[in-house]
Amino acid sequence: MRHLYLAFLLAFAVTLFGFWPSFTGGAGPLDPLRILHGVLATGWMVLLVVQSWLIGRGHTLWHRWIGRTSLIIAPALVVSAFTLVTDMLGPNSHFDVPLRLTLAWIDVWSLALFSLLFILAIACRRTMFLHARFMASTAFVALPPALGRAYGMNIPSLGGLAGALPPSFWTVQAVLVGLVLWDGFRGRWASPWWLTLVVMTAIQLTMFQAPNWPWFVAFARMIGLPAS
């Protein structure tokens, strides 16, 4: 627990590397919404680093006080991210329709997972084993899109973002399996990591089928996808 903040720093670095072109405007013009979302996402990762550092050194009171900011940051982050999903589905998107729908499927379920993990972390705040792992799991939600962009930009053989999505999920799943085993061999097989692993795997197994499901296409049109 004392050095958990180092893992969050690594996750922050990976996320920043993957989304850096977006932060600098290389993936398209920045607008106030994207700037706000970037600030909120950065704030969330910084919060995870700071909170893990504080609790690892016994600063419980500071941990609790600073933790209250999560009640503002987390909902705002979810709202800003969902708004970006609707914009990504819109007519000005530079992705083709199948990829837009695939990314929307990933994002919508990832936001639902993030929200559930945060709620569970707050509900279990008096049980450190559960609270720490549910909060840590929120960092994994941002890793597939970040890794997808990083792999897609730096491994030409993957053929861009669409080809980079599967290995980005495999990377996250491998880490989560490692964490499940880490807790399991210490007698804690019923670990919160399972929730994130199962949902991430379900998203990965269905993401390329989602564009063919009429009900999901209808939902996407409700939130921004043009009718034709």
Closest CA to 56 of 130, 137, 128, 135: 128
Give me Rg for the CA atoms of the chain: 18
Asked if residue 1 has pLDDT above 60, the reply is no
End-to-end CA distance of the chain, in Å? 52
CA dihedral 120, 191, 165, 35 (to 10 degrees): 30
pLDDT tens string 100-149: 999 999 999 999 999 999 999 999 999 999 999 999 999 999 899 888 88
- In angstroms, the CA 109 to CA 100 distance is 14
pLDDT confidence of residue 24: 53
Question: For tokens 């914009």, what's the residue?
Answer: 87
Sorting pLDDT into bands at 50, 70 and 90, what band is 68?
very high
Q: What is the dihedral of CA 144, 149, 153, 158, to 10 degrees?
A: 50
**Quick one: pLDDT at residue 74?**
96
Mean pLDDT for the chain overall = 89
Q: pTM (2 decimals)? A: 0.91
Please tell me the predicted confidence (pLDDT) of residue 2.
54
Chain-centroid distance, C-alpha 52: 18
Spatial CA neighbour of 169 closest among 138, 195, 140: 140
Q: What is the mean pLDDT of residues 201-220?
A: 96
